[in-house]
Amino acid sequence: MTTTAGEPGVRANPTEARELVERGIAAARGGQRRVAAGLLARALKLDPRDERAWLWLSEVVDDPEQRAFCLHAVLRINPHNPHAHRGLAYLARQGTTTARQIADLTAPTAESTPLTTPTEQAPASPNRDWWLQWRWQRYETSRVRVVLWLLPIVLLTVALLLHQSVRAAREQALAALAAEQEQTFAITNDPVLPLATPTPVPELEAEPLAVVESLTVSYLTAIDTIRAELRKATDTYRQETGQPGGASINHVAATQRLRAAVAQALADLGELRVPGVLTPAHEDYRRGLELELAGLDAILEFYSTYDVANANRAALRLQEARAFIERAQASFQNQSQILGERSIVSAYTIR
């Protein structure tokens, strides 16, 4: 970087000036006159003795007086430039001979000396160092702009990394919970110790035997329909949550659908007319469904808080529910066998 002799204290940057000149010429050839004028003016601020910049600037300015000013600047640098002579002659024929200076640009003087090295320049006074200060402010502004552009990118990268870490931890917790649920819902041959309750003693029915048996058949048929719907909903839930690495939102949705199915089964169970002989089994089945609802609620709370206590509570409730439901199912099966052995009229025979 050097200092122009005509303007002491103003630092010239020929390399940057040449780049701006090339860009300005390209813009002028592409028909972008205003862009070209701005680039060439900036280049001349860096190197006011650039002959090509003054010549091309005369082609893109609209004011004839400013065009004459640029051509005179060319002749001060190179008095034998034919393009500048022809341009001034043309302007003279048009009646425009006054050269009006372009704002912030000063034509080089004829007495301007070649560029000097930094060791030859005189110390610049504070009043003459304005150009260096302006350039330095532009440089600092560019650095701040770059930092402001990079800061959101860095923050976004950090957020993505944190999201991936949280997601990996959540998937591991869901995989562990899915394995525990699979063990809870799996049908095993291990005997389940039912809760100790007194053996129910069938009460005498006031209705005739045929009416009681018909009521029992209707109840068992309705119970089979409810159990079939629950088995279907449970199998769907196992398929949706049994794959490791599934998204937590999918597990929550599957749990909510299974809970809705259990709640519907409990509501349908409350509408049935229960024969006296199956009242204990009916209560066991109802209690089992209520415990299963409590277990599913605990699973949903676990997905919201990821508290292990909710997972343990869900496993305990589901285990208790299975004990009640299996005891009720055994009673239903026993009663169906009794009705089948009696071989009553086909209208009341268990299909």
If pLDDT is split at 50, 70 and 90, which confidence band does 275 have?
confident
pLDDT of residue 102: 58
Q: Is residue 137 part of a domain?
A: no
User: Beta partners for 12?
Assistant: 2
Where in the sequence is the domain holding 105, given as residue range(s)?
Answer: 2-111
Q: Considering 88, 111, 134, which residue would you say is the last residue of a domain?
A: 111
Is the pLDDT reported for residue 244 higher than 70?
A: no
Average pLDDT, the chain: 77
Say if residues 145 and 151 touch (Cβ distance below 8 Å): no
pLDDT of residue 216: 84
pLDDT of residue 76: 94
Place of tokens 């009916």: 282
Please report which residue ranges of the chain form alpha helices under DSSP H. 14-29, 33-46, 51-60, 64-77, 82-93, 130-185, 209-241, 248-270, 279-305, 308-342
Q: Is residue 257 part of a domain?
A: yes
Same domain, 182 and 97: no
Is the pLDDT reported for residue 99 higher than 70?
A: no
Report the pLDDT averaged over residues 128-157. 76
pLDDT by residue (tens digit) across 30-83? 888 899 999 999 999 998 999 999 999 999 998 889 999 999 999 999 999 999
Residue 95 sits in a domain whose CATH number is: 1.25.40.10
Q: How many structural domains are present in the chain?
A: 2
Same domain, 60 and 206: no
Q: Is residue 25 part of a domain?
A: yes
pLDDT by residue (tens digit) across 279-307? 998 999 999 999 989 988 988 888 888 78
